[in-house]
A and B are shown apart, each in its own frame.
Chain A
C-alpha cells in the first residue's frame, strides 16, 4: 500500500508539471485496439471499423465483378479465373480429394481474401495517421480512427475459433459424431480393452495410451486456436511497430523496403492462415481408424506384388 501512495503522489507531481507547459499528445503503440465510440455498452474499436471497411471493399468488388460476368471472359474476369484455378489446384494439393476441396474451398478462399484485404488496408497511409486527441485525466492521447483489422487480437481470435469449431463440425458431417467424439474422449479404445483382450493381449496397454492421446488431441485443439490467432496478430502488429519505428528513424525512403516487406508478409500470412484452415478441415474429415486399416491393406498388397 505504501508504494501505491507514493506512485499516486509521483503522478500528481508529474501532472502539475504537465499542466504548466503544453506537451504534444502521446501516441502509444498499444497491444489492444482503442475504442472510438460506443453503441450502448458495445465498444466500436478502430480495428472493427477497419474490418467493416474491408468487408465493404470486398462486397463492392464482388458486386462489380458479378455485374460484369460474361460467358466469354474479359481481361479482369480472365485474371480472376486464372487465380481461382491456381487456388483450386493448391487446395487440391493439400486435401488430395476434389470432393473435400469443393466443399471447403468457398470458406477457405473467403477467409484468405478477408485476411488479405485486412492486412493490406492496414498499410494504407490513412491508417494510423488520421485520428483525434482524447484527454484522459490531464494527459492527452492520440487515437487513430483506423487500425489494421488483423492487428487486433479479437479479430484473429474470432477467426481461429471459428475455424477450429468449423473443422470439427465438418468432421461430424463427414465421418459422424461418434467418431469425432472418440477422437477426443476415446471411449472406444477403453471398450476395446475389454472386448478385444481375448484376441490380442496388447490392447490392455494400447487402450489407456489411446485414451491419453485423445486428451492430448483436445489440448492440441486449443493450441491450434492460440497459435493461429497469435501468428496472424503478431505478424501484422509487429509490421505496424516496425513501420512506425522505421519512420521514426528517418522518414524519407527508409520505410519503403519495409513497406514492400509488409505487403509480402500480409500475403504470406493470409496464405498460411487459409492453408492451415484447409489442413485442419482435411484432417477432421479423415477417418483415422479406417485410414490405418486401409494402409495395412495397401502394405499387404505390396507384399503380394513383391
Chain B
C-alpha cells in the first residue's frame, strides 16, 4: 500500500531516462575523444597517411557512438 502511494507521487522514470542517456553519453564521449586524439597524433606523425587514417577513424568512432545510441534507445523505451 505504502509503495503504491509513493509510486503515485514520485515518478522516477524521467530520472532513469536521463541517467541512461547521460551515463552512456559519457562513455561514448571518452571513446570518441580518444579515437580523435590518436588519429590527430597519427596524422601529425605522418601527414601523408591522412586519407588512410580518416575512414578507419570514422568507422571506429561510429562504433563508439553506437554505445550512446544504445543508451538512447533504452531511454526511449523506459516508460
Residues of A within 8 A of B (CB): 2-3, 6, 29, 31, 227, 230-231, 233-235, 237-238, 241, 268-269, 271-272, 275
Contacts and interface: CB of A to CB of B under 8 A. Distances in A.
B66 interface: yes
A31 B8 contact: no
Given A2-B1, A2-B4, A3-B8, A235 B69 contact: yes
A230 B70 contact: yes
B11 interface: no
Contact of A231 (B7, B69, B77): B69
Interface string B55-79: 0001100110110011011001100
Given A3-B7, A3-B8, A6-B8, A230 B73 contact: yes
A29 B73 CA distance: 12
Contacts of A234: 66, 69-70, 72-73
Nearest to B77: A31
Interface in B9-67: 58-59, 62-63, 65-66
Interface of B: 1, 4, 7-8, 58-59, 62-63, 65-66, 69-70, 72-73, 76-77
B4 A31 contact: no
13 contacts: A3-B7, A3-B8, A6-B8, A227-B66, A230-B69, A230-B70, A231-B70, A234-B66, A234-B72, A235-B69, A241-B76, A268-B62, A272-B59
Nearest to B76: A31
Query: Nearest 7 A-B pairs (CB), nearest first?
Result: A234-B69, A231-B66, A234-B73, A3-B4, A31-B76, A238-B72, A268-B62
Contact of B73 (A233, A269, A271, A275): A233
A238 B69 contact: yes
A133 to B, nearest CB: 23
